[in-house]
């Protein structure tokens, strides 16, 4: 399936500006980028404060798990490594 553009009235998710500066220069791992962007999206869906995402939620997120898996097999180790890199940063 190819991307055909954004539909009308698409919702936006605020992204912290350092992602477009210092972090963009530092992060070379595509899995870490995918993880960071998905965490930002998931946090934006939360109501109340403090906002947080649990490891269980990340493992249950089909978008993240699918994008970090290959050959139709779920690779939770790969997801965990990307999350670990994200948290460490």
Query: What pLDDT is recorded for position 1?
Result: 72
Nearest CA to 82 out of 44, 60, 55, 62 is that of 55
Query: What pLDDT is recorded for position 26?
Result: 92
pLDDT in tens, 10-28: 988 989 898 999 889 999 9
Contact (CB, 8 A) for 15 and 40: yes
Query: What pLDDT is recorded for position 70?
Result: 80
Q: Is the dihedral of CA 25, 30, 36, 40 positive or negative?
A: positive
**For a pLDDT cut of 90, what percent of the chain falls above it?**
51
| Prediction pTM value | 0.83
């Amino acid at each position: 399936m190819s991307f055909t553009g954004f539909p009308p009235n698409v919702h936006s998710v605020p992204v912290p500006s350092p992602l477009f500066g210092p972090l963009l220069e530092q992060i070379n791992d595509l899995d870490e980028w995918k993880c960071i962007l998905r965490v930002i999206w998931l946090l934006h869906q939360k109501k109340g404060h403090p906002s947080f995402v649990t490891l269980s939620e990340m493992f249950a997120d089909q978008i993240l798990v699918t994008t970090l898996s290959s050959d139709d097999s779920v690779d939770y180790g790969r997801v965990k490594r990307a999350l670990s890199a994200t948290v460490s940063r």
